[in-house]
Structure 1
Amino acid sequence: MNSGTRHVRVIGTGLIGTSLGMALSDQGFDVSLEDPSPTACRLARDLGAGHVAGHLDAAEPDVVVVAAPPDVAADVVVAALERWPRSVVTDVASVKQTVLDRVLRSGADASRYVGSHPMAGRERSGAAAARRDLFDGRAWVVVPHEDSAEEAVDAIRHIATVVGSAVRVMPAREHDEAVAAVSHMPQVAASIVAACLRELPEPAVGLAGQGLRDVTRIAASDPRLWTQILAGNAEAVRDVLLDLRGQVDAVVAALHGLVEGEGEGSLGTLSRMLEAGNLGHARIPGKHGAAPTAYAVVSVLVPDKPGSIGRLLTDMGNAGINLEDLQLEHGLGQPFGIAYISVVPAAAEPLQEVLTTLGWQLHD
């Protein structure tokens, strides 16, 4: 099935469906597109995601990818299994157990169904936000069940690999518990923190720095989509948030003790919380999913002028120094920003010397 998978039907031309169509088309796949919205489907076509499905697509696709919203994905999967009795069917919803349960209850041929979840996305949604490199270096979780045919699992592995993803295989419930902790809970936390800014006085909001931007970045995500995701994974997300609430309650109690002058042990509680955060952060995988790596950070003042960042990165490249990560912080009311350049520790001193020689001002 791997080498024979050439025709892929993508049902749903939002961000993920359109991005997948673009990536597969670039690899020579015949991609047919289907969406309840003709306009969305034509936009995906115009962006290079494939051709709009029509009477010329009478032959069964090798693989059907359901990229429909989470609340309807299961029904679309069942319909696809019944519509194409020989096709392998997957879905890319971010919650897997509810979809699997519906498929198994339907009586459809579940051996041809393999769930999957590309761990890729953006704050923006829709075909217009699609990127052909969206899946490069990202994890793609393949979620077979006990009745999934081996060739069906191989077909979905093949698609994920072809578009540049790193395949992980997990059972549905284990997947849902994992994403509740690493994806769904961060979304809730970011949204709650950002919501607290609504009534904050304008002068206070004006003091916001990179830390607040980092914490709230994903709060700009689509509320409709995330309502469906949280509802579909309610039990696992609830359990993760209960643990989070317990830790927040402990911090609140410690701060209350300090305010009331009865803070014995409070500093220890706060210190342990911050240290635990260090340890948890250190477990986040490094670049391309590799083991966590401690990078050195070189801070550079960057003029707020066109081309400044490009010139900085070009100077780094000409010096043969590889960029591991980059963050920008805009100076409050200043005509410059600060670029925080992460490099392997051995490259930090050579980078500082090169940039100083080329006239860049380092920021301590």
Structure 2
Amino acid sequence: MRTAAVVGTGLIGTSVALALTSRGVTVYLRDHDKTAVQTAAAMGAGLDAAPAEPVDLAVLAVPPGRIAETLRQVQESRLALSYTDVASVKEQPLAEVAALGCDLGRYIGGHPLAGRERSGPLAARGDLFEGRPWVLTPSRETDTETLNRALEMVSLCRAVPVVMKPRDHDHAVALVSHAPHLVSALMAARLEHAQDTDTRLAGQGVRDVTRIAGSDPRLWIDILGANADAVADVLAGLAGDLDAVVGALRSLAADDAAKREVGTRGIEALLRRGNAGHARIPGKHGEPAAVYEAIPVVVPDRPGELARLFADVGRAEVNIEDIRIDHAQGRPAGLVELQVAPQRADALTLALRNSGWTVQR
């Protein structure tokens, strides 16, 4: 691939452009928002100019509802030899593209499963897609050259290609992305009118659950509108589970011992289903999920302390599998939870304590 065009210079589009430019591809930028194009160009993402001849591949980084009309326009202007998109739904845009009479042979749907809570070109990163899945959804009409160009782009962005049917993709992301976003928003909405004394108690659990609720609502309205039925199916099943849990909790609070036993069994069954479902999420490098031991360490909130902690862990020759940080309320310190292999937990705890760290284990 020598040349590419990115149509839409928001977070994802600019990140694609940065990744391709860093690999030697000449990238041309286009957006109806001239400020966004100029910002992306100033960041080194590409050229704020029109190509003299069709580029190898055009990436449409626009909302799902605008994919079809944008594809029609750029194909009519012969912007590229092949075209793809980065929209998070695939079936509806494909149907709209076909209805507009676009050339389906030179188009392939795409969706990089990477992002950030921030939006716009200034939030873009050239390494955003490294190691992340990038779904490609060829139709029956997609030609081999277009598929190969899309695969090369995914490789240049250092992502992992996954080929799926459009409908299978939409049902998958409804389960693992779109419905979880709404669940996160629902939980965060419970905090809107909470007392300050309540929210001050917020720990890592509620922060984890509500983290993605801070995303741009305008973007998500478009995404959910294009995948509404699949998301509704997931949430309908969740609603049934919620009703059962509410009933079990009411029984758990009852005076009658028999009712409490029914409630206990109901809650235990749900928690065990949750354990089983969580175990299905792949672990590091796509391997089966592993169980790690948590080593909570109190770390002063000042420059250099995390680096010192990591250096001490390195000297103990223990690999950190994962890490979480929970900031203390009203104290200049935080609790850093190091996730390590269980067989190395005791040795690391001893080594850190010998180095002067407070380990809450």
TM-score by length of 2: 0.95
Identity %: 44
8 Å CA contact 1:119–1:138 kept in 2: the answer is yes
**SS of corresponding position for 2:55:** coil
8 Å CA contact 1:77–1:91 kept in 2: the answer is no
Evaluate the alpha carbon distance shift between residue 335 and residue 85 of structure 1 in structure 2; reply closer, same or farther with a 3 A threshold.
closer
Q: Which residue is equivalent to 2:34?
A: 38
Q: Does 1:353 align with 2:356?
A: no
Q: Which residue is equivalent to 1:67?
A: 61
8 Å CA contact 1:138–1:288 kept in 2: the answer is no
Q: Which residue is equivalent to 1:50?
A: 46
Q: Which residue is equivalent to 1:147?
A: 141
How far apart are 1:170 and its partner, in Å? 0.5
- Measure the CA separation in 1 of the matches of 2:146 and 2:186: 40
**Once the two structures are superposed, what CA deviation does each residue of 1:235-280 show, in whole Å capped at 9, x if it has no partner?**
1000000000000010011122334446251111111111111111
Counterpart of 1:19, as a letter, is: S
- Of the three residues 178, 190, 209, the one matched with 1:184 is 178
Structure 2, gaps ≥5 residues long: none
- Measure the CA separation in 1 of the matches of 2:124 and 2:289: 29
How far apart are 1:332 and its partner, in Å? 2.6
1:232-247 correspondence to structure 2 within 5 Å = 232-247=226-241
Counterpart of 1:226, as a letter, is: W
8 Å CA contact 1:300–1:339 kept in 2: the answer is yes
- Measure the CA separation in 1 of the matches of 2:318 and 2:24: 35
**SS of corresponding position for 2:125:** coil
**SS of corresponding position for 1:274:** helix
**SS of corresponding position for 1:122:** coil
- Measure the CA separation in 2 of the matches of 1:85 and 1:361: 60
- Measure the CA separation in 2 of the matches of 1:31 and 1:87: 14
- Of the three residues 223, 247, 252, the one matched with 2:246 is 252
How far apart are 1:288 and its partner, in Å? 3.0
8 Å CA contact 2:67–2:97 kept in 1: the answer is no
- Measure the CA separation in 1 of the matches of 2:298 and 2:322: 16
Q: Which residue is equivalent to 2:265?
A: 268
- Measure the CA separation in 1 of the matches of 2:354 and 2:80: 65
How far apart are 1:338 and its partner, in Å? 1.0
Q: Does 1:17 align with 2:17?
A: no
- Measure the CA separation in 1 of the matches of 2:91 and 2:251: 43
Q: Which residue is equivalent to 1:337?
A: 334
Could you tell which deviates more after superposition, 343-352 or 94-103? 343-352
- Measure the CA separation in 1 of the matches of 2:354 and 2:254: 54
- Measure the CA separation in 2 of the matches of 1:238 and 1:102: 21
1:1-364 correspondence to structure 2 within 5 Å = 5-54=1-50, 57-84=51-78, 87-261=81-255, 263=259, 264-364=261-361
How far apart are 1:316 and its partner, in Å? 2.2
Counterpart of 2:194, as a letter, is: L
8 Å CA contact 2:53–2:79 kept in 1: the answer is no
Evaluate the alpha carbon distance shift between residue 290 and residue 164 of structure 1 in structure 2; reply closer, same or farther with a 3 A threshold.
farther
What is the RMSD of the two structures over their aligned residues, measured on CA atoms?
Answer: 1.5
Could you tell which deviates more after superposition, 28-37 or 344-353? 344-353
**SS of corresponding position for 2:207:** helix
8 Å CA contact 1:302–1:338 kept in 2: the answer is yes
**Once the two structures are superposed, what CA deviation does each residue of 1:176-222 show, in whole Å capped at 9, x if it has no partner?**
00000000011000000000001111111111111110100001011
- Measure the CA separation in 1 of the matches of 2:252 and 2:272: 19
**Once the two structures are superposed, what CA deviation does each residue of 1:306-347 show, in whole Å capped at 9, x if it has no partner?**
221122122223443322211011223233221111122333
- Measure the CA separation in 2 of the matches of 1:32 and 1:85: 10
Evaluate the alpha carbon distance shift between residue 185 and residue 48 of structure 1 in structure 2; reply closer, same or farther with a 3 A threshold.
same
**Once the two structures are superposed, what CA deviation does each residue of 1:130-170 show, in whole Å capped at 9, x if it has no partner?**
11110011110111111111221111111112211111110
- Measure the CA separation in 2 of the matches of 1:104 and 1:139: 26
8 Å CA contact 1:338–1:363 kept in 2: the answer is no
- Measure the CA separation in 2 of the matches of 1:86 and 1:194: 43
Could you tell which deviates more after superposition, 132-141 or 289-298? 289-298
- Measure the CA separation in 2 of the matches of 1:250 and 1:337: 38
**SS of corresponding position for 1:100:** helix
How many pairs does the alignment contain? Answer: 358
TM-score by length of 1: 0.95
**Once the two structures are superposed, what CA deviation does each residue of 1:7-26 show, in whole Å capped at 9, x if it has no partner?**
01000000000011111111
How far apart are 1:86 and its partner, in Å? 5.8
